[in-house]
Amino acid sequence: MFLITELIAFLCANLILTRALGTSTMFIAAGSRKNLIGTAAVITVFTTIGSAFAYIIDSILPQSLDDIRLLLYVAATGLIYVGLLFILKKFSGKNFVKYRRYVHISAFNCAVMGTIFTVSGTAENMGFFGYISAGLEAGAGFVAASLILTAAYRRLNSKRVPESFRGFPAMLVYLGIISMALYALK
């Protein structure tokens, strides 16, 4: 029972299903297992390290300079972006060209930037590790939502679905129904 309650709480806090953050990126990720693993891993790295940067920025930045918060978050995300590409180039060798697209897709999208802003707004009194765990949780939420979509991906793209609604439209409706279930559970 405890696990079920925790699972429901985890899903109810999901940023894709409740706030639609990173929906289009998830549609790309859910297309294949390989894409899902690659994109989810990179997004989790971005949200976790990005949240750590957000903690530092939030600690330093006075309220009067709130307007430049986005600029600083973007600069931090840019640093992570370059850092990840650098690490990937150093360690993936010939596979760099194959894997770098996951970094390009994940860098500046609503899943990452939205998580950083959400974490900044909710983990304010939780300290450094509160930010990091919230970032990690958001990454795990992306994986969970992608898995939910992957489970139905082939059916939503099958010929049984009317052609105009096949693919993205059906996936949006499907996510809406899952989101409605979570709304009811909340």
Partner 1 sequence: MNNEKFSVFSGLWKDNPILCSLMVISPVIVCGDTLRNAEAIIYAFSAITLFSVTIASFLPKNLPYAVRIIINALVASLVYIPVKRAAQEFFPDIIPRIGIYFPLLAVNSIIILQTEAKFFKMKKPRMIASTVFYILGFDAVIAFISVVREIFGHGTLNEKVISTNAVISGLGQPFGGFIFLGLLCGLYRWLRHGKQLSGGDKNVSDN
CB of 9 to partner 1, least distance (A): 18
Cβ atoms 113, 43 nearer than 8 A = no
Selected from 39, 48, 109, 146, the binder of partner 1 by CB under 8 A is 109
CB of 1 to partner 1, least distance (A): 26
Considering only residues 139 through 158, tell me which ones interact with partner 1, judged by CB under 8 A.
154-155, 157-158
- Give, to the nearest 10 degrees, the angle between helix 96-106 and helix 33-60: 50
Tokens of 24: 């289009």
Tokens of 104: 């390009």
Give the nearer residue to partner 1 in terms of CB position, either 33 or 155: 155
CB of 109 to partner 1, least distance (A): 7
Q: How far apart are CA 114 and CA 138, in angstroms?
A: 10
Which residue is associated with the tokens 């096949």?
A: 166
Selected from 18, 35, 133, 150, the binder of partner 1 by CB under 8 A is 18
> Amino acid identity, residue 83?
G
Q: How many chain residues interact with partner 1 (CB under 8 A)?
A: 55
Q: Could you tell me which stretch among 39-47, 79-87, 123-131, 140-148 binds partner 1 (CB under 8 A)?
A: 79-87
Q: How far apart are CA 138 and CA 47, in angstroms?
A: 7
Cβ atoms 134, 119 nearer than 8 A = yes
45 scored as a contact of partner 1 (CB under 8 A): no
Q: How far apart are CA 139 and CA 146, in angstroms?
A: 11
Considering only residues 157 through 186, tell me which ones interact with partner 1, judged by CB under 8 A.
157-160, 162-177, 179-180, 183
Q: How far apart are CA 60 and CA 50, in angstroms?
A: 15
Residues making contact with partner 1 (CB under 8 A):
18-24, 27, 67-71, 74-75, 77-78, 81-82, 85, 104, 107-110, 113-114, 117-118, 121, 154-155, 157-160, 162-177, 179-180, 183
